[in-house]
Amino acid sequence: MLSSSFDAAVPMLCVTMAALAVMGAEAFRAKDENMPLGGLGIIGLVGAAIAAALLWNRNTSSFGVIVADNFGLFVTMVLLIVGVLTFMFSAPVVRRDGLPKGDYYALVLFSIAGMIMMAVANDLLVVFIALEILSIGVYVLTGIRRQDPRATEAALKYFLLGAFSSAFFLYGIAFTYGLTGSTRLDRVGTYVAAQSMNDNPLLVVALGLLLVGFAFKISAVPFHMWTPDAYEGAPAVVTGFMSTGVKAAAFAAFARVFLSAFEPFSGEWAPMVWLLAAATMILGTVVGVAQSNLKRMLAYSSIAHGGYLLVGLVAANEVGKASILFYLLAYAITNLAAFGVIALLGAKDDGRDDLRDYSGLWHTRPALAALMTVCLLSLGGLPPTAGFIAKWYIFSAAVSAGYYGLAIIGVLTSVVSVFFYLRVVVMMYMAERPTTAPPPAVPAVGMVALAASVAMILSLGILPTPVLNLAAESIATIF
């Protein structure tokens, strides 16, 4: 169905326009004029969200390579929520740290546009372009504190390894094209379904290369090396943004490519992904235990969460596909909020991201400590939070597909992960009152964003049915 309608691309275009507007406004503002650039960005994001809501259930496509099916739109919504929350957390941080406002907001918006594109792309080359758009934005954001050597190091590492993985991915696309004569996912799908290619070694190579490319982006073990450094070096709010947005976008594309076009070969790739999932869950949690820096710890935790998402991908049944979507939403809100707390507690010259900095936070900032605790419990998968429902959903997918082994690894690693999440809680609640000066007051906009996140976490944990149904609806249209 080749249609020249622009409809399917509207959410993406809204965000791009907002990014251009921010750039323009920044370029033409008077030197000391204070412009509400953040507000401008939020308007663009909300516009995109409205557009996405209107496209729901319409299954439109643009130029044949962008498809606004419910799956893509669900992920788009997740990304827009991530975007709005990021903006709300960023406002006080940008002011406090003196970050270049125009550049920062424009880069965030461009990255989001790339992420959305990745979620709705129906062509391997478009996936690749989207990947580059979002990656370049995020590379720069990682190193946006130019005076900080750690940030620069993180950005460079991230960039080099990212470029490396892009090459793998591109190579995989080339092989796919060589085998099937197309990069369009639907055509690749029909072609491979029609031909019996199970024994074709080239296909295994193509699958493997694509897998490596995606595995880098979702930081699956053993392609996770860049993650802890990049997450630690970047400003906390950027870390929150990339650990959720990039992962959501990459997973959406991963699921689309492997569960639609390459679905017939699940026999070939499922064992590989099984191994990736198990290794990612185990390494992410076990190494996470040894961290004393909160950002680094959450970096490993986000690696582990990638592993849980992979479990849903391996299961590959209806529950599994829907559970990926639900998990992405729950994880995105929770993780972003946790990084939001870190960002809001930091100071210009001191990130305050060491575990010790949280000692006795309960006494000085009780509300923040409570909000952080809810986030950590949700990350650990304890009821009644979104994280619990999400994990339950993923593991029920694994069990119903017969992957008891993965489910058991999953639940046991989540117990281990509870140990390190609790270390933070111990610091906040059970350590002595700190002797150092209390952290600065948190601006209202940050508190509003945190409160909204926690409200979403709890409501998803207590009344998940509407969103579970949406997720189930989303996968009904494709695959």
Partner 1 sequence: MLLTLSWLLPVAGALALLLIGNADGRRNGVIRWLTLAAAVATFAVTVLVWAGFDGASSEFQFVERYPWIPAFGIDYYLGVDGISLLLVVLTSFLTPIALLSSWGSIDRKVKEFSVFMLVLEAAMIGVFVSLDLFLFYVFWDAMLVPMYFLIGIWGYDQRIYAAIKFMLYTMAGSVLMLVAILGLAYLHRTATGTYSFDLLKLYTLDIAPQTQVWFFLAFTVAFAIKVPLFPFHTWLPDAHVQAPTAGSVILAGVLLKMGTYGLLRFSFPLFPDAAAYFAPVLALLAVIGIVYGALVAMVQPDMKKLVAYSSVSHLGFVVLGICAMNLQGVQGAIYQMLAHGVSTGGLFLLVGMLSDRRHTRLISEFGGLKAVVPRLTAAFMIITLASIGLPGLNGFVGEFLIMLGAFRWDARFVVVAGLGVILSAVYMLWMFQRVYYGEVTHEENATLRDLLPREWAAVVPLCVMAFVMGVFPTFFLKPMEASVDAIVQRVQQGQTLRAERLETAERAERLER
Q: Which stretch binds partner 1 (CB under 8 A): 3-11, 117-125, 140-148, 398-406?
A: 398-406
Place of tokens 């999953």: 410
Query: Residue 311, Cα to own-chain centre: how many angstroms?
Result: 16
Q: What separation, in Å, do the N-terminal and C-terminal C-alpha atoms of the chain show?
A: 17
According to the binding rule CB under 8 A, does residue 89 interact with partner 1? no
According to the binding rule CB under 8 A, does residue 347 interact with partner 1? no
> In this chain, which of 399, 445, 458, 476 binds partner 1, going by CB under 8 A?
399
According to the binding rule CB under 8 A, does residue 438 interact with partner 1? no
Q: Which stretch binds partner 1 (CB under 8 A): 2-10, 131-139, 200-208, 391-399?
A: 391-399
Distance from C-alpha of 429 to C-alpha of 440, rounded to nearest angstrom: 19
> In this chain, which of 64, 102, 208, 384 binds partner 1, going by CB under 8 A?
384
Cβ contacts of 4 within 8 Å, gap of 6 or more: 62, 63
According to the binding rule CB under 8 A, does residue 292 interact with partner 1? no
Distance from C-alpha of 215 to C-alpha of 276, rounded to nearest angstrom: 8
Label residue 401 left, alpha or beta by phi (over 0 means left) and psi (-120 to 50 means alpha): alpha
Supply the DSSP string of 25-54, one letter for each residue.
HHHHS-TT----HHHHHHHHHHHHHHHHHH
Q: How far is the CB of 187 from partner 1 (least distance, A)?
A: 33
The CA-atom distances, in angstroms, between 208 and each of 169, 236, 239, 269, 387 are: 9, 33, 28, 8, 31
Nearest to partner 1 of 233, 461 (CB atom): 461
Label residue 59 left, alpha or beta by phi (over 0 means left) and psi (-120 to 50 means alpha): left
Q: Which stretch binds partner 1 (CB under 8 A): 150-158, 240-248, 271-279, 416-424?
A: 416-424
For partner 1, what does the binding mask look like between residues 456 and 475, x meaning CB under 8 A?
A: --------xx--xx--x---
According to the binding rule CB under 8 A, does residue 6 interact with partner 1? no
According to the binding rule CB under 8 A, does residue 383 interact with partner 1? yes
Q: How far is the CB of 383 from partner 1 (least distance, A)?
A: 4
The answer to whether residues 8 and 61 touch, using CB atoms and an 8 Å cutoff, is yes
Q: How far is the CB of 461 from partner 1 (least distance, A)?
A: 9
The residues binding partner 1 (CB under 8 A) are 377, 382-384, 388, 392, 395-396, 399-400, 404, 407-408, 411-412, 414-415, 418-419, 422, 426, 429-430, 464-465, 468-469, 472
